[in-house]
Amino acid sequence: MFLADYIDKNYKNMNQFLTGIVFPVLVVSPIALLIWSQPDLSTAMVLMAIVFSLLFVGGTRLVQFSTTVLLAGSSFLIFALNRGNYWTDRIVDFANGILGIASSDDSATVFHATQAEIALNQGGLSGMLGEGTQKLGYLPEQYSDFIFAIVGEELGFIGATILIIAYMIIFYRVVQIAKNSNDIFGIILTIGFGLSITYYAFVHIGYVVGMLPVTGIPLPFISHGGSALIMNLLMIGILLNISKAQRKLNVKEWRPRIGT
């Protein structure tokens, strides 16, 4: 009896692992690999982070989820460090910055990070609207990959904080919309759109302020790029439509409903 229960339990766990983690990851992996091959590693990583977050929200077992994320993250880190290309340089430069070790002066990553820091420092508390210098070409890619540094320089700490709060409000409203949804598709779709906006925002802000390795992630609604703006506006439009059309339910517990 004990052996039969053990086999039945492990069979269910394996089935949940295959249907709950392996199959969804296999569906998204080809898309991530195509993005990776551009090469655009940062976007591929954000995409997989959104996928794993949705798996967690969808009720994946915590042990299976954490083990998969740990193995995937460790494998990627080992692979990236062994490639000896710009990924390695960015990770090493970031680690050197944390440890206080001087990096090579001709490193593009260090130059970008230094110029972004200069922009934020010049902005101060209230900014120097219209008088910023980094937008004149001292900071490369200031209109896209480092636009938050220009926001900090022009609008200062106050303006940059307001922008961060705006992204937090967007995600808060996304969670409220998801909690009022009465079907799992609406919940997953809503959270997916919300994470797509906020992950991009906080990864961008994170590396501009020196909390993450430098990469090339646009800031939603702010960075240059018409196609990205259109997609973000479409996601906001769909979220508003879901919010308007959903039937309001008095829901106190959220995650248990997702797994049912």
Kindly list the averaged pLDDT for each block of 10 residues, start to end, along the chain of length 260: 44 62 81 81 84 81 76 72 65 69 65 83 84 80 85 90 93 87 81 91 88 84 85 90 66 48
Q: From CA 113, how far away is CA 209, in angstroms rounded?
A: 8
Task: Provide the 10 A C-beta neighbour count for residue 196.
Answer: 18
Q: How many Å separate Cα 80 from the centre of its chain?
A: 19
Q: From CA 160, how far away is CA 127, in angstroms rounded?
A: 9
Q: What is the pTM of this model?
A: 0.78
pLDDT at 82: 64
Residue 139 dihedral angles phi and psi, to the nearest 5°: -105, 115
Q: In this structure, are residues 149 and 142 in contact, taking their beta carbons and an 8 Å threshold?
A: yes
* CA distance readout (Å), 72 to 49, 134, 196, 249: 11, 38, 20, 38
Domain boundaries, the chain: 1-83, 104-260
